[in-house]
Amino acid sequence: MRLLVTGGAGFIGSNFVRTTVAERSGVHVTVIDSMTYAANPATLADLVATGAVELVEADITDATVMDSLVSRLTGDDDAVVHFAAESHNDNSLSGPWPFVHSNIVGTFTLLETCRRHDVRLHHISTDEVYGDLAVDDPAKFTEETAYQPSSPYSATKASSDMLVRAWVRSYGLRATLSNCSNNYGPYQHVEKFIPRQITNILDGRRPRLYGSGANVRDWIHVDDHTSAVWAILDRGETGRTYLIGADGERTNLDLMREICRLMGVGEDGFDHVTDRPGHDLRYAIDASRTREELGWAPLLTDLREGLQHTIDWYSDHRDWWEPVKERVEARYAATERVL
């Protein structure tokens, strides 16, 4: 089996690649990644050096490169797994164009290439396409929830999902989709909530909570996302959307306090800072259909334990994140004010 993994040098893509190489010896993995600021060359360096993974540094909007890579996928089970995207909401607010480029034009380019070669595609998306929920809403997002994206990031992800669905219906493209909740784990960029707070504490800086911290996110360990994607590749039905989540809802405030506790700084050893404009209040995924139909279940459901492993990973891999930390914090400092 041959897989072409787009965005495989980023956070979730690289974890997917690492697990695949470790657990599926019969799978040949090629990664295409344009190595934006979000990709760290060190992330896949060991796998590339041993030849376990082929890394092609190119943009998914480059139709010529895409054609040559997708044309190699000639087996019935071969597939493209599409992680590549601009992924950070805060960046999408300050500069939306790269999001339109990678998330919409990139997905369009990939769809046309897969259509031309009749190649299977799995499209990775997010729960943010559904907008947000009230804190006390008993409902969670399901496959039927209407799309109502709030930010330029989630609007471009919603657009890409719509393109994939149209290519399935109009051209018979063999595609599946998945919408997952907030991931955490190793190799996540330090611009994101959990690694930012962990590395702030490791660096002697104060963690930063947007607004009051009442916003709720539904956390899943990245390895559980990977196992769900494999369940879809193995047993998913063409044209279907699968929701992926691990019932890990927490307010940002609770999560911040947990990180502070685990890292031995006072529970209130953080700053409240300027809130994100248009900040979605709550995400929550109902993954029951994915669990029932694919026999998938998340394994790393103890968030405290998962956080401890993640803290340990960032403590042990300073050389991975330190080179970019200063730049990320300088960027935040330009707009962030302590409340």
Q: Which residues bind ligand TDX (CB under 6 A)?
A: 87-89, 126, 128, 182, 192-193, 196, 208-210, 215, 217, 252, 276
CB of 246 to ligand TDX, least distance (A): 13
Could you give the CA distance from residue 144 to residue 161 in angstroms, rounded to a whole number? 14
**Is there binding between residue 183 and ligand NAD (CB under 6 A)?**
yes
Count of other CB atoms within 10 angstroms of residue 289: 14
Q: How far apart (Å, rounded) are the C-alpha atoms in residues 45 and 53? A: 9
Note whether 264 and 311 are within 8 A (CB).
no
Whole-number Å distance between alpha carbons of 25 and 23: 6
| Closest C-alpha to 62, from 119, 24, 112 | 112
* Binding residue for ligand NAD, selected from 3, 5, 12, 255, defined by CB under 6 A: 12
Q: How far is the CB of 117 from ligand NAD (least distance, A)?
A: 19
Q: What one-letter code names the amino acid at 319?
A: D
Residue among 1 and 105 whose Cβ is closer to ligand NAD: 105
Tell which positions 120-159 bind ligand NAD, by CB under 6 A: 124, 126, 157
User: Residue 338: what are its φ and ψ, rounded to 5°?
Assistant: -70, 130
Q: Which does 215 bind (CB under 5 to 8 A by kind): ligand NAD, ligand TDX, none?
A: ligand TDX
38 binds ligand NAD (CB under 6 A): yes
- Which position among 20, 87, 91, 107 is part of the footprint of ligand NAD (CB under 6 A)? 87
DSSP helix/strand/coil, 271: strand
Alpha-carbon distance of 117 to 120, in angstroms, equals 9
Which segment (17-25, 30-38, 141-149, 254-262) binds ligand NAD by CB under 6 A?
30-38
Q: Which residue is nearest to ligand TDX (CB)?
A: 126
- 3 state SS of 255: helix
Contact call for residue 296 and ligand NAD (CB under 6 A): no
* 257 is an interface residue for ligand NAD by CB under 6 A: no
| 144 classed as catalytic | no
- Catalytic residue at 147? no
Give catalytic residue positions.
Answer: 127-128, 153
